[in-house]
Structure formats: C-alpha cells, structure tokens
C-alpha cells in the first residue's frame, strides 16, 4: 500500500453510529481477551475516543483503528458507581464474509449501523491488515489523530510476511519476516510509554543490550501523546531466559546449577550494562529519609493488604515487616540511595539470548497495572535485581518440558536443590563485574525489595494460579526468618 493510499482513507467515520452497532459484540468479545484488564466485572458501556479507517470499510476488506473506553462498575473497595474505564486499542477487520482460516478471530456479525451486514474480526490475525500497519510505519503516515514515525536511518522493507504471536498477555505482537517485531499496546494511557522512551534513550547511548526502536505508533489527543506501538528488530533464533533455564534444568547432571551458571553471570553483566547506560542517559536522584519513608510505607501497606486477602500469609507478617523496618531504620540514620530509570518488571522471561550467546533485555513497559507516572519514576536498580532473583526461584520450582507451567497437573514440584542459590549468586557476581558493586553489598534494601516482590507474588498466585502459591510461600518463609 502506498503512502498516498494511506493518507487518502482519512474520511470521517460515523462515530456514534459505529460504536452503537459494535457495542453488543464488543461486550461479549472484549472481556475474553487475555489483555483485557477488567476481568471479573461486567462492561456496562463504551465511549469512543478515536475512530479511523486504515482501509475503507466500503471495500472488500476494511480496517478500523479504534481507541475505545470500556466502562465497568467499581469494586466494593472502590465504592459505588461506575468508573470511567480503561482505554483499549482495537484493530478491527471488516469483511462481508469471514474466510474459514480467520474463524478464530471472529468478533461478530453487525446487524445495524454503517457496517450492517458485515462481519468484524480481530484484524491482527489477517496478513493484509498487518501489511497496512507496516506500510504506514515505513511511510511515516498520518491518519486522523494517528501518527506513524520511524528512524530514517533504518530501512523497512515492504515485502515482509507477518505473523501474530499468540502467547502475549497484556499486549499483542506481530513478527514481520523474522526481521521486525511490532508490539501493539492494548491498554492505552496518556504519556510516552517507557517501552518506547527507554529503548530510544539506550539507543542514543549505544547500548547493545536492548533492540533500538525502528518505528513507532502514537496518537495525539487533547494535547497529550499516547504511545500505541513500537517496531523493533526481531532477534531471530533467540530463546528467552525462562525457556533456557528450564531447558538446562531438564538436562541430567545440570540440576546443581552449574549448567546455567555462565548464562546467569552473563545475564547479570547485561543487566548492569543497561542500568549504567540508563543512568548516563536520564536523570538520577538521591533518595533520603523522606523518600524512603514513603517507599517503606507503600511496602508495609501492600503487606497488610495481602495478609488480609491471603490467610496463609498472616503467620509470617511480623517477620516480613522486619525487612521494611530495617530499611526505615537505615534511612533514619542518614543513609541515602541513588535512584534512576530501571526496567521495572525484570524477570527471566524479559531476557533474550541470541544464538551468538549475547543477552538482550526487552519489554520496558513496567508493570502495566501501575499508573504510568509511577512506572516512569526513578527507582533504585536493586528493584530490578530483586525481580530477577525471584525469577530464578520460580524456575527452580518449574518442571522442565512443560514450559510456562509447573507440571502437567498444574502443581509446582519441590525446588531443585541449590539451583536457584547458585544462579542468583552468579547473576549478582556478573552484575558486579560491570557495575563495580555487588548487589549483595546492600542487603537491607535488597531484602526489602525481594520481600515486597514475594508478597506481590503470593497475592497474584492466590487470585489467579492457586496451584503455584507454594512457590512464593517458600520464599516468604525464608524471608520472614532472615535476620
């Protein structure tokens, strides 16, 4: 598709009528998507933020880009009434009839409004709409409020075959010919997303541990910029750290940790390279008594909330609280810490090992459930390190051969003896080789962050994967007994 063709499809969409006709279909379809954040509460209505045609719906194939706000009732903890709702990015294909191979992408059949008589579906399953997105990025198109940008120094070929990655959770990704990967954010908030901001900053610093953005999508609304998607080089043949760790654990004779020690050390070095580059690229701040008091208060509050929701946590609450109290005491004595921009949600699954053996860090979005302003705040690098240390612990409980799940029946097995401890030590040693300081040299802050992470894991597993609850509970017992 040419740039002129993309620019020509900006005719106004009949927005109120369009949304009214899609409303009953979206109420059924949207809550079933993995990336829908409001599960467990009904959708009471929608409001349209933007609607643009990337392919005109009067043609044999139409493509609509929508930003839609889903309204849902408040939870009892939030009070009565309905909240404004989260804003979601939808790419909706429009056809008169859906080919059999696109049946899994079906949203529904429209009975009234401007699309009456047509079938609408999740367009990312269809190569033609995916091609339209890549062409818009290649040509730096403008479509209504939508803006497609790219790094002019990087070439984007227009003949790359797209495929949808089906294992995504909070977002969606398209791979183009094993050359690029386009991550499309699903829950949209105002502001520059760290998943674009931080890789751009790292690219300016020449950091090779993070693929530099080739292009990106944004929307300009009411004076705010909304990041919609990021196109980056695809690391062909790469294996993520979680899969690689479980593969090593599956090998006979490697369960003592030795088979993964070198990888853990290299991953520690890669993490330190990213942290040092971020500290050069973006401002750092000093956290003193007042800032650390707020940090400790947040950790203590999360512990109280989790203990109220998960009875198994209550016997350990007093011991866990000592980790936060020790940090508060250290801060009150005048100790300060340096905070900087960090990854924000670092674990083995966010790390890719290329066939060359080099490690890359990906997905800098942070925890999507947290406000964007919080995700963009400078934080001590030990927060990232604590997340990785917890990830080694999770891998030690997972059964090799069932990647992504504990075992065929869904229950974690006992931890592999010493594997996690050996890998955690190697990771910290590798980090120290680059950063010049071993993370274990700050045991009070590291224990506080690891405790906070384990508490989060307990609450998450209790709500979503109760069979996994023994994994973080084993860490809870260890952390509660720590001096």
What pLDDT band is residue 49 in, cutting at 50, 70 and 90?
very high
In terms of pLDDT, which residue wins out, 81 or 205?
Answer: 205
Q: What is the pLDDT, as a whole number, of residue 56?
A: 85
How high is the pLDDT of residue 369?
80
Question: How many Å apart are CA 381 and CA 360, to the nearest integer?
Answer: 17
- The residue-averaged pLDDT of 436-453 equals 98
Which tens digits make up the pLDDT trace of 75-90?
666 555 555 789 999 9
Q: Are 424 and 391 in contact (CB under 8 A)?
A: no
- 464's enclosing H/E stretch is helix 443-464
pTM for this entry: 0.90
Instruction: Give the pLDDT score at 60.
Output: 83
Dmax over CA atoms of the chain, in Å, equals: 71
The proportion of the chain whose per-residue pLDDT surpasses 90, expressed as a percent, equals: 77
Burial class (CB in 10 A: 0-12, 13-18, 19+), 380: buried
Greater model confidence, 407 or 355? 355
What percent of the chain has a predicted confidence (pLDDT) above 70?
Answer: 89
Q: Per-residue confidence at 412, pLDDT binned at 50, 70, 90?
A: low
480 within 8 A of 316, measured Cβ to Cβ: yes
Query: pLDDT for 339-387, tens place per residue?
Result: 999 999 999 999 999 999 999 999 999 988 889 999 999 999 999 999 9
Say if residues 65 and 87 touch (Cβ distance below 8 Å).
no
H-only helix segments in 339-438: 372-375, 382-397, 419-435
Upper half-sphere CA count for residue 183 (Cβ side, 13 Å): 25
Distance (Å) of CA 398 to CA 393, 409, 455: 9, 12, 19
409, pLDDT greater than 60: no
- Residue of 158 and 118 predicted with greater confidence: 118
* Residue 407: per-residue pLDDT: 43
Q: Render pLDDT for 159-198 as a digit per residue (tens, 0 to 9).
A: 899 999 987 678 999 999 999 999 999 999 999 999 999 9
């Amino acid at each position: 598709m040419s740039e002129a063709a993309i620019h020509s499809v900006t005719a106004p969409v009949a927005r109120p009528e369009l949304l009214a006709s899609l409303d009953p279909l979206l109420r059924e379809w949207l809550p079933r998507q993995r990336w829908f954040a409001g599960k467990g509460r009904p959708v009471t209505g929608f409001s349209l933020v933007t609607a643009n045609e990337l392919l005109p719906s009067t043609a044999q194939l139409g493509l609509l880009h929508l930003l839609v706000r889903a309204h849902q009732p408040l939870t009892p903890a939030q009070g009565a009434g309905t909240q404004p709702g989260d804003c979601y990015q939808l790419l909706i294909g429009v056809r008169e009839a859906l080919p059999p191979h696109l049946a899994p992408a079906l949203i529904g059949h429209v009975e009234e409004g401007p699309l009456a008589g047509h079938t609408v579906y999740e367009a990312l399953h269809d190569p033609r709409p995916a091609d339209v997105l890549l062409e818009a990025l290649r040509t730096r198109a403008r479509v209504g409020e939508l803006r497609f940008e790219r790094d002019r120094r990087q070439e984007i070929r227009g003949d790359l075959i797209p495929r949808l990655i089906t294992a995504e959770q909070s977002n969606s990704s398209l791979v183009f010919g094993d050359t690029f990967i386009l991550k499309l954010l699903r829950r949209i908030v105002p502001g520059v997303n760290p998943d674009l901001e931080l890789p751009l900053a790292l690219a300016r610093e020449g950091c090779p541990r993070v693929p530099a953005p080739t292009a990106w999508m944004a929307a300009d609304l009411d004076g705010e910029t909304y990041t919609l998607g990021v196109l980056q080089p695809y690391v062909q043949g790469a294996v993520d750290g979680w899969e690689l760790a479980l593969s090593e654990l599956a090998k006979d004779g490697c369960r003592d940790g030795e088979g993964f020690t070198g990888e853990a050390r290299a991953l520690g070095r890669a993490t330190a390279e990213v942290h040092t580059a971020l500290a050069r690229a973006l401002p750092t701040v000093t956290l003193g008594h007042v800032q650390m008091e707020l940090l400790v208060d947040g950790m203590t509050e999360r512990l109280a909330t989790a203990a109220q929701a998960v009875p198994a946590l209550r016997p350990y609450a007093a011991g866990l609280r000592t980790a936060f109290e020790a940090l508060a005491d250290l801060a009150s004595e005048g100790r300060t810490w340096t905070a900087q921009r960090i990854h924000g949600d670092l674990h083995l699954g966010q790390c890719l090992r290329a066939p060359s053996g080099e490690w890359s860090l990906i997905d800098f979005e942070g925890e999507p459930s947290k406000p964007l302003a919080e995700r963009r705040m400078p934080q001590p690098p030990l927060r990232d390190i604590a997340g990785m240390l917890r990830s080694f612990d999770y891998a030690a409980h997972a059964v090799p051969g069932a990647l992504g799940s504990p075992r065929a029946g869904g229950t974690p097995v006992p931890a592999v003896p010493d594997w996690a401890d050996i890998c955690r030590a190697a990771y910290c040693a590798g980090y120290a080789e680059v950063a010049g300081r071993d993370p274990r040299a700050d045991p009070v802050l590291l224990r506080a962050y690891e405790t906070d992470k384990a508490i989060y894991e307990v609450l998450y597993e209790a709500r979503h994967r109760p069979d996994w609850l023994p994994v973080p509970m084993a860490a809870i017992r260890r952390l509660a007994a720590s001096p």
